[in-house]
Structure 1
Amino acid sequence: MDEDLRERVERAAEKHALLNAVKYDSDADVGAIMGPLMGENPDFRPHGDEIPGVVGGVVARVNDLPPAEKRERLEELAPDELAEIEAEGEKTDHDLPDLPNVDAYDSVRMRAAPNPNGPWHIGHARMPAVIGTYKQRYDGSFVVRFDDTDPETKRPDLAAYDAILDDIEYLGFEPDEVLLASDRLETYYDHARDLIDAGGAYTCSCGAEDFSDMKNAAEACPHRDKDRETVREEFTAMVDGAYDAGEMVLRVRTDINHKNPALRDWVAFRMIDTPHPRPEADAYRCWPMLDFQSGVDDHLTGVTHIIRGIDLQDSAKRQRFVYDYFGWEYPEVVHWGHVQVDAYDVRLSTSALKAKIDAGGLDGWDDPRAPTLASLRRRGVRGEAVVEALAALGTSTSNVDLAMSSVYAANRDLVDDDADRYFLVRDGERFEVDGGPDAGHPPLHPDHEDRGERTIPVDGGVVLEPEDVPDQGDRVWLKGCACVRRDGDRLAVTDDDIEVVRSGDADVIHWAPAEGTVPVRMRTPDGDVHGVAEPDFAATAIGDVVQFERIGFVRVDDHADDGSVVYWAHP
């Protein structure tokens, strides 16, 4: 790399390192700035193998500056970007628009209505994150209603009920009421009978294809004009389990000429032969469709505002027919687009995740490669960070993308101050060290001197990551220890002070002793990584979130005689 290009790389790297450090009030991270740096400077890409080495030196110099100096320097180099960072720091939950017609209600009441067919992935968390935030804004309430009235195609998982409630607690919310739709069959039957008496429903034994043809042609079903007594008798037979699946349904009488065929005489109840997995519900065979069950429950539980996907607009239209028969006021509705999540190869689908687990492609719901809340929790990501990132997406009807970097940034703000620092070396190369101290003493946390220092022995040699090994005759700074120069397969301590780093003549690197280290298996979304940590790491507690310097934050998962296991959280 020629000198001109090197100077340009250093200038650009300094700006991005400062942006990263100031934005997150932490040390800059080489990995976090490489993407923006290369994206802004495409002409750097042919030199991709050399760039990280230059950037590493710049990052080390930036990290050595006091916070006030970092901000002052960034104001010189990029005042507009600094202003944007400071403006972002003042943002609140106002990314969420006000709910419509709030003043028309005594209090706001919302609902989360999960299908308990498995633990939640990240996309599921959007609903409780948003309605929980609205609950706090309006001093309202919300109900969790498990929509578990399909024991066949969306068969409930008995473990999922508690798992989902645990996920809501993880996100920082507590529902005001918890209901199971499968406990409420008699309530739905009572309302079906009332609907029949109001002339709003009829029993139908048409085959599915035959009815579809009639519906699409706007032709009335021959059963549409049955007398109410016959309809009641046949519905009672449905409830008693007298029909097999597909033999009889109860339809809501709507408008057979409606311009939208999907709204014409839709099914409210059908027969299902498969028993429900809950013992309390396994005797039932006549089950409500979601639009009927959900519509009735929203009214009975006092829901004032519903948030649902833009693809479910027809649900509100179907339910309004029932509401009109009963003379009920329909809740306010907010429709939003789907959320897509980057950084995962696994599709956001409970069924797809379960299939992958069953096939052995994932170790379980909390596998670090899984886009689940269980995985994030085990990795040390706090629920508050997930809520902040999801609420910031707002309620647009357009599809939105959730960048996991936004979750990670929010979590970094939450954990950085408490996370002690340690060194982890991967694929270490061993070197003897000549001269200098017997041990290095880096701080447990750079911002908290009162926490003390770690002790990392040097006299038995050190191990360095391959990319940090200096060329013959070159110097590096062993963080918390000393400057060393490579001499063959040895490192000789020099008399240089920290100015050698500030001048760019020596990169700051992490390291570990050659003996007495702690073997570590680091589980990451990209697979397991193995390395050795400094001896003091063994004193960490299970559940602690710490930072492996220059690598990222991790949650300590296990300590055993043969080593430790950590779950990678984020850079």
Structure 2
Amino acid sequence: MDDALRQRIEEAAETNALLNAVKHDSEAQVGAIMGPLMGENPKFREYGDEIPGVIAPVVDRVNGMDAEERRERLSELAPEKLEELEAEDEGEDHPLPDLPNVEEYDTVRMRVAPNPNGPWHVGHARMAAVIGTYKERYDGEFVCRFDDTDPETKRPDLDAYDQILDAIDYLGFEPDDVFKASDRVETYYDYARDLIDAEGAYTCSCPQGEFSDMKNSGEACPHREKDVATVHEEFDAMVDGEYDSGEMVLRVRTDITHKNPALRDFVAFRMIDTPHPREAAADYRCWPMLDFQSGVDDHLLGITHIIRGIDLQDSAKRQQFVYDYFGWEYPEVVHWGHVQVDAYDVQMSTSTIAELIAEGELDGWDDPRAPTVASLERRGIRGEALVDAMVELGTSTSNVDLAMSSVYANNRELIDDDTDRAFFVRDSEDHGGLVERQIVGGPDAGEPPYHPDHEDRGRREIPVAAGVAVEGDDLPGHGERVWLKGYGCVRHTRDAFEYVGDDISAVREEGVDVVHWAPADGPELRLRTMDGDVTGVAEPGVLDYEADEMLQFERIGFARIDDIAPEGESVAYFAHP
């Protein structure tokens, strides 16, 4: 990172930190400004690992100002942003906008409606994060409804129901109610029959291509004027499974000349020959389309506010026809753009991830290379860090980018103070391999602190009798010195490290590099990362930790202990720098 770029980052960070501090009348947080900073400046993203260190002093400087100084400085840097803040309700303290017309409802009740065709990828978490936050804000209710009425093209995965509920729990929320649409098929049949009685639906056996041509030309299907009795009879035959897939559908009667062809006489029920994987639903062959099923459920389950993608605006319009037939009032709707997530080589798609797992390219849904909620959890990233980053994106109708560096910054703030430090030396070509050297002279052990900010936690004891291992890129030239962190200064001579003292001025005044190290006979450890696995040796104290505990491998980053094997290879999952 050159000086010009660093200056641009510092200037943008100061504006965002001031905006965050003034808006919330509190100290700015590095994690809270990472999202806006990266979203507004895409060119910064390739430096995501370095940026938290660059902006931290800027944030500290802003936090050292009083409220009046912050407002004055913000008025100098970005007067238009200060004007926007002053125009907002002074009581606002949320990155999310107010939901529309909440005063008209006794209880705000919102839903996530996942298709359980696999565990959640990172993008799926946005809905639960935002709805869970709105629930807390309005003391409302959170419904999880599994929209699993497509047993063929988006076939449910029986394990995914619990996996999705686990993901919601990981994010820090608990649904007030959980429903499976496949348990409610008889209810959909009842409302289909009511719709037929209201002359709002008719059975149609037109081949799909023929109907599409008629619909696009605004021409009515010849089945459109069937009498109600015939429609009931044929719909009952659909329910009884007497038609093959594609042979008969039930359509909602709308406006065949509507200016938007997508809204003309859409399908409400179709025949599917593939049995549902759930035993309780395996006998059904007549299944509702999502627009009908979801629309009916939103009314019956008392949903007051819906958040959905901007690309689904036609769904609301189709459902409105059904609501008009029944005299129902449609819920409030907020449309938002899609979220894109950086930092992954794997496409954020349930089907793509499933294919890569089936082909053995990924070990599973929690593989560190997979852009999934399960992977983040296994890597030791707290759900709160992901929620805060998602909420900061707001509900704009524009597509938005989630910079994983903002999630990492949030997580760093949550775990840094409680996380012990440790050494791990990588045996990797990318870092020059692993090099062993004997120590000549000097103490029998190094004693670095467990945490540099908490001397009261004590110090680790790392023996050097068997020699030490360092990464090849850290090995100094012959005759040159290096500082082994927590041990002291050594000179590389005759393929050994000769101890030359513990005067820190060698580092501060003479520029001697500080490096991490481990005993040459230290325990083997495999670090699983987004770029693949890295093996090496760690300090012995790593064996004293248990699975799920976090460590910060100095000069590498935070990691979650996954498995401790005193006699073999232990495993940790890399979280972030």
Q: Which interval holds the TM-score relative to the shorter structure?
A: 0.7 to 0.9
What aligned pairs does 1:158-557 form with structure 2 within 5 A after superposition? Answer: 158-427=158-427, 428-495=434-501, 497-515=503-521, 517-557=522-562
Any idea what the Cα deviations from partners look like across 1:71-130, whole Å, max 9, x if unmatched?
579999xx99xx89xx9xxx9972211111111111111000000000000011010000
Partner Cα separation in structure 2 for residue 285 and residue 362 of structure 1: 35
Question: Is residue 478–residue 484 contact of structure 1 (8 Å, CA) maintained in 2?
Answer: yes
Change (3 A) 1:25 1:488: farther
What aligned pairs does 1:58-207 form with structure 2 within 5 A after superposition? Answer: 71=60, 94-207=94-207
Question: Is residue 115–residue 146 contact of structure 2 (8 Å, CA) maintained in 1?
Answer: yes
Any idea what the Cα deviations from partners look like across 1:236-287, whole Å, max 9, x if unmatched?
1111111111111110000011000010000000111111110100111110
Any idea what the Cα deviations from partners look like across 1:270-322, whole Å, max 9, x if unmatched?
11111111010011111000000000000001101000011100000000000
Change (3 A) 1:258 1:351: same
Partner Cα separation in structure 2 for residue 310 and residue 124 of structure 1: 15
What is the DSSP-based 3-state SS (H/G/I as helix, E as strand, rest coil) of the residue aligned with 2:564? strand
Change (3 A) 1:364 1:429: same
Partner Cα separation in structure 1 for residue 358 and residue 402 of structure 2: 27
Partner Cα separation in structure 2 for residue 13 and residue 501 of structure 1: 30
Partner Cα separation in structure 2 for residue 464 and residue 493 of structure 1: 15
Considering only aligned residues, what root-mean-square deviation do their CA atoms show, in Å? Answer: 3.1
Change (3 A) 1:525 1:102: same
Any idea what the Cα deviations from partners look like across 1:208-229, whole Å, max 9, x if unmatched?
0110010001000111111111
Change (3 A) 1:169 1:23: same
User: Which amino acid in 1 is paired with 2:557?
Assistant: G
Change (3 A) 1:214 1:192: same
Specify every segment of 5 or more residues in structure 2 that has no aligned partner in the other structure, as ranges. 15-26, 32-42, 75-80, 82-90, 428-433
Question: Is residue 520–residue 537 contact of structure 2 (8 Å, CA) maintained in 1?
Answer: no
Using the size of structure 2 for normalisation, the TM-score is 0.85
Where does residue 20 of structure 2 map in the other structure?
none
Partner Cα separation in structure 1 for residue 272 and residue 472 of structure 2: 62
Change (3 A) 1:565 1:216: same
Q: CA deviation at 1:460?
A: 2.8
More deviation, 429-438/392-401: 429-438
Question: Is residue 24–residue 412 contact of structure 1 (8 Å, CA) maintained in 2?
Answer: no
User: Which amino acid in 1 is paired with 2:551?
Assistant: V
Where does residue 32 of structure 1 map in the other structure?
none
Change (3 A) 1:539 1:504: same
Where does residue 49 of structure 1 map in the other structure?
none
What is the DSSP-based 3-state SS (H/G/I as helix, E as strand, rest coil) of the residue aligned with 1:417? helix
Where does residue 558 of structure 1 map in the other structure?
563
User: Which amino acid in 1 is paired with 2:105?
Assistant: Y
More deviation, 541-550/485-494: 485-494
Where does residue 39 of structure 2 map in the other structure?
none
Change (3 A) 1:71 1:101: closer
Question: Is residue 30–residue 409 contact of structure 2 (8 Å, CA) maintained in 1?
Answer: no
Q: CA deviation at 1:359?
A: 0.7
Partner Cα separation in structure 1 for residue 479 and residue 173 of structure 2: 58
Any idea what the Cα deviations from partners look like across 1:147-179, whole Å, max 9, x if unmatched?
000001111000000110011001000000000
Change (3 A) 1:23 1:429: farther
Question: Is residue 241–residue 285 contact of structure 1 (8 Å, CA) maintained in 2?
Answer: yes
What is the DSSP-based 3-state SS (H/G/I as helix, E as strand, rest coil) of the residue aligned with 1:284? coil
What is the DSSP-based 3-state SS (H/G/I as helix, E as strand, rest coil) of the residue aligned with 2:281? coil
Partner Cα separation in structure 1 for residue 547 and residue 29 of structure 2: 26
What is the DSSP-based 3-state SS (H/G/I as helix, E as strand, rest coil) of the residue aligned with 1:110? strand
Change (3 A) 1:291 1:345: same
What is the DSSP-based 3-state SS (H/G/I as helix, E as strand, rest coil) of the residue aligned with 1:375? helix
Partner Cα separation in structure 1 for residue 443 and residue 29 of structure 2: 34
Any idea what the Cα deviations from partners look like across 1:314-370, whole Å, max 9, x if unmatched?
000000000000000000111111111111111111111111111111111111110
Change (3 A) 1:92 1:265: same
Question: Is residue 202–residue 224 contact of structure 1 (8 Å, CA) maintained in 2?
Answer: yes
Q: CA deviation at 1:453?
A: 1.0
Q: CA deviation at 1:481?
A: 1.2
Question: Is residue 93–residue 392 contact of structure 1 (8 Å, CA) maintained in 2?
Answer: no
User: Which amino acid in 2 is paired with 1:476?
Assistant: V
Q: CA deviation at 1:419?
A: 1.1
Specify every segment of 5 or more residues in structure 1 that has no aligned partner in the other structure, as ranges. 27-38, 46-51
User: Which amino acid in 2 is paired with 1:313?
Assistant: Q
User: Which amino acid in 1 is paired with 2:410?
Assistant: A
Partner Cα separation in structure 1 for residue 140 and residue 548 of structure 2: 33
Question: Is residue 554–residue 570 contact of structure 1 (8 Å, CA) maintained in 2?
Answer: yes
Partner Cα separation in structure 2 for residue 13 and residue 123 of structure 1: 30
Change (3 A) 1:345 1:183: same
Change (3 A) 1:71 1:288: closer
What is the DSSP-based 3-state SS (H/G/I as helix, E as strand, rest coil) of the residue aligned with 1:494? strand
Structure 1 runs (4+) greater than 3 angstroms displaced: 11-16, 22-26, 67-76
Partner Cα separation in structure 1 for residue 136 and residue 58 of structure 2: 38
Partner Cα separation in structure 2 for residue 14 and residue 158 of structure 1: 47
Question: Is residue 205–residue 248 contact of structure 1 (8 Å, CA) maintained in 2?
Answer: yes
> Identity rate of aligned residues, in percent?
67
Partner Cα separation in structure 1 for residue 219 and residue 401 of structure 2: 43
Partner Cα separation in structure 1 for residue 149 and residue 9 of structure 2: 58
What is the DSSP-based 3-state SS (H/G/I as helix, E as strand, rest coil) of the residue aligned with 1:145? strand
Partner Cα separation in structure 2 for residue 408 and residue 69 of structure 1: 18
Partner Cα separation in structure 1 for residue 366 and residue 536 of structure 2: 22
Partner Cα separation in structure 2 for residue 147 and residue 70 of structure 1: 44
Partner Cα separation in structure 2 for residue 357 and residue 292 of structure 1: 33
User: Which amino acid in 1 is paired with 2:289?
Assistant: M
Any idea what the Cα deviations from partners look like across 1:472-512, whole Å, max 9, x if unmatched?
23222111111112223122222351122222521211111
Question: Is residue 248–residue 270 contact of structure 1 (8 Å, CA) maintained in 2?
Answer: yes
Question: Is residue 15–residue 74 contact of structure 1 (8 Å, CA) maintained in 2?
Answer: no
Change (3 A) 1:104 1:92: closer
More deviation, 251-260/94-103: 94-103
